[in-house]
Amino acid sequence: MSVEIYLNKGIKEIITEFPEIEQILEEYSIGCGTCGEGLCQLKDILDIHYLEEDLETELMARISQVISPDKKIEFPKRKRKRQSPKKIKYSLPMKKIVDEHVLIKRWLALIPKVTESLDLETEEGLQLINNGIDFIRNYADKYHHAKEEDEAFKYFDKNLDMIKVIQNDHTRVRAHVKEMLQAIKNKDKKALAEHLKAYSKILPEHIKKEDEILFPWMDRNLSTKQVGQLYSKFNEIDEEYGKAPQKHRNFIEMLEKKFC
């Protein structure tokens, strides 16, 4: 089998054939084994995770040893843009959406308490959960995810595996929100709690993939002009939404005072 076949082979397929490769990838903080999508090819893993050159060479040597213990496989060297993988320096537009993740993570930390105290019978209880879903739909999705899907992603091929993974996460989240709204309508606390829990399990890994993998990869592949265009567009979106994001921050702060 040629080098190209290995590089163009799906990483999940490689792990299925050679299970020990999953552990090797984990040692380099590449969690392909636990990724729910598994769309990426081996060459995508190298480009997306962007290890330091010596670590990448070491990793590929170990993978080569597993796949072909009797014959060393020489993987071609790639052109690289210098960037330290240990401390990520985001462009201004990417930093904006990374910073927005902070508020979303504060909401995720509150979901267990919100779920424990669900109340669909009183006006106060309904208001709290409706505000929570409003945060998901309008801050996390309409305001934040729209920046990604409508603006940042348009600079890249929509069929790229990494873009598909993120889009699939967004689709799954929206499906859970739809079920949450139906559960509230039915006053079904059990179903509501289940979908809140499922939502809160998707987002932490999703945010990690974006902050540590997707956004740095985008920054490496955007031109200076495109970065400027994206920053201007994000500023326009911020102006359009005005004080709405602050309303959502106030809601999160209120919950933190209530439950923490």
SS3 per residue for the chain: CCHHHHHCCEHHHHHHHCCHHHHHHHHCCCCCCCCCCCCCEHHHHHHHHCCCHHHHHHHHHHHHHHHCCCCCCCCCCCCCCCCCCCCCCCCHHHHHHHHHHHHHHHHHHHHHHHHHCCCCCCHHHHHHHHHHHHHHHHHHHHHHHHHHHHHHHHHCCCCCHHHHHHHHHHHHHHHHHHHHHHHHHHCCHHHHHHHHHHHHHHHHHHHHHHHHHHHHHHHHHCCHHHHHHHHHHHHHHHHHHCCHHHHHHHHHHHHHHHHC
Q: Where are the domains of the chain?
A: 3-67, 92-259
Q: Can you give the pLDDT at residue 84?
A: 46
Which pLDDT does position 147 carry in this prediction?
94
pLDDT of 39 higher than 60:
no
| Residue 241 confidence (pLDDT) | 92
Minimum mean pLDDT among 51-60, 165-174, 219-228: which range?
51-60
Give the per-residue pLDDT at 159: 87
Query: What pLDDT score was predicted for residue 49?
Result: 65
The CATH number of domain 92-259 is 1.20.120.520: yes
pLDDT for 146 equals: 85
Distance (Å, rounded) from C-alpha 155 to C-alpha 171? 20
Least confident residue range of 16-30, 47-61, 167-181: 47-61
Q: Is 233 or 10 the better-scoring residue by pLDDT?
A: 233
Share of the chain above pLDDT 90, in %: 58
pLDDT at 76: 64
| pLDDT tens readout for residues 167-211 | 999 999 999 999 999 999 999 999 999 999 999 999 999 999 899
Summarize the confidence of residues 41-65 as an average pLDDT.
Answer: 75
Return the pLDDT at 48: 64
Least confident interval from 27-41, 123-137, 219-233: 27-41
What mean pLDDT do residues 38-53 have? 66
Mean pLDDT over 133-158 rounds to 94
The letter for the amino acid at 115 is: T
Q: How large a percentage of the chain has pLDDT more than 70?
A: 85
- Supply the pLDDT for residue 152: 96
Quote the pTM value.
Answer: 0.72
Q: Averaged over 219-225, what is the pLDDT?
A: 94
The pLDDT of residue 85 is: 46
